[in-house]
Amino acid sequence: MRMSTEISNLKSLDLMARNIKLADRVDSFKKMMSALQLTYKRIVLSAADREVTIKDPFTGDFRNMLMFASNNYLGLANHRHIKKKVLDAIDKFGCGIGGPPLLNGYIGLIEELEERLAAFKSQEAAIVFSSGFLANLGVISALTEHNDTIIYDELSHASFYDGIRLTKAKAIPFGHNNMQQLTRLAEQYGNEARGNVFVCTEGVYSMDGDIAPLDKIARVCKRTDSILIVDDAHGTGVLGGNGSGTAAHFQCEEDIAVTMGTFSKVFATCGGFLTGSAGLMEYLRYHARSYIFSASIPPPVAATVLAGLEVIEDEPWLRTQLLANVKYAIEKLKPFGFYASPEAAIITLRLPENMDIRKAAYLFHLKNIFINPVEYPAVPANKQRFRISIMATHTKEDIDRLAMATGEVWNDRAVYSN
């Protein structure tokens, strides 16, 4: 008994020592964050819109800032019709479900949402996940087997890379939008593979803002009998004749085996989904672990997306205004240099040589421009950039202020290292 008590005390002391060491590291990191004037984790005190109120992390004061860092592309986060539909859903279904879809979390509102999403993406069926991240994890890990081959764009999202870790399939990257390399790999592994070949790409690339040539990729997949999976998180609601996404933009919807989408971009809430054939979606319900073992999205989220689909259909001018704003912003920001040619609602600014991105981001903050600095490891250390998200609710005056602030930051010698 005495020996057991001594061992227990020793373990407790060790744990306390580790906690103290960890607390010191955390405290040191917080001081470093303050000294570097990092602009991450700013507290927003208002609804997501073209202008937001924040609590300044450096002064503690409240200030209004123009928001150019939100994926709320159509301004749906604060749309009157959507807020009313959400309140109606809360009155009928409450705020939560308390279980996974297969057991007790598949309410009529989610069934309706899946039917609407499938029609929106011109597919037979859809399945809703708790997040887009979990949708990517689920589709890759559930569909691929050890004798399959996954060929994927090197700039695929982190969730896709994590999905690859959960499978035993061979995974081979190809250079970003490099059609020649993709074609060569698809032909090679199409002939060699004992299993299926999956080609995985994004519609709109979140860190670059450019789009994949889906029509060309689809033709390669058809010729090599490969299965095409598209992550269309940033294309959904933005591209295509009816806003349904990148595949509609290229008129190749029927060639996509699986499309992944998220509710955290144009719908400005949380959750994700997959669309494809009815048989494939039903298979995923019983094999995608990130679906089976995750709680359902709550009723207010389902209502948000359903109402968002209604707005996209009934108010097409929002998308027209978004694309007009993007075109205007491209012209105003062109002198500063893009990292990639903007083709959707994301514009990435290439840093001038020797610019300190953290000092520049802080200067944008002081000018009341809320903008995202993208640092390593989100991108390679030599490819850091500012990422700008344009919204339909932005005015030309907002974009003019952004361009003016960018010019002032670019010309301020204080943001450059010697």
Task: Give 228-268 as a 3 state SS string.
Answer: EEEECCCCCCCCCCCCCCHHHHHCCHHHCCEEEEECCCCCC
Q: Which residues contact 388 (CB under 8 A, 6 or more apart)?
A: 68, 69, 329, 333, 346, 347, 348, 349, 371, 372, 402
Rounded distance between C-alpha atoms, residue 209 and residue 234, angstroms: 9
Q: Is 112 an annotated catalytic residue?
A: no
- Tell me which of 72, 130, 206, 294 is the catalytic residue: 206
Q: Is 202 an annotated catalytic residue?
A: yes
- Tell me which of 121, 170, 234, 249 is the catalytic residue: 234
DSSP string, 289-334: HHHHTSPPPPHHHHHHHHHHHHHHHH-THHHHHHHHHHHHHHHHHG
Q: Is 287 an annotated catalytic residue?
A: no
Number of separate helices (H) and strands (E) present in the chain: 14, 14
Q: Is 146 an annotated catalytic residue?
A: no
Rounded distance between C-alpha atoms, residue 310 and residue 303, angstroms: 11
| HSE toward the beta carbon, residue 203, CA cutoff 13 A | 30
Q: Is 46 an annotated catalytic residue?
A: no
Q: Is 79 an annotated catalytic residue?
A: no
- Tell me which of 85, 121, 170, 265 is the catalytic residue: 265
Q: Is 389 an annotated catalytic residue?
A: no
- Tell me which of 208, 210, 231, 253 is the catalytic residue: 231
- Tell me which of 157, 170, 249, 365 is the catalytic residue: 157
Rounded distance between C-alpha atoms, residue 128 and residue 285, angstroms: 10
Rounded distance between C-alpha atoms, residue 50 and residue 391, angstroms: 7
- Tell me which of 114, 148, 153, 202 is the catalytic residue: 202
Q: Which residues are catalytic?
A: 71, 157, 202, 206, 231, 234, 265
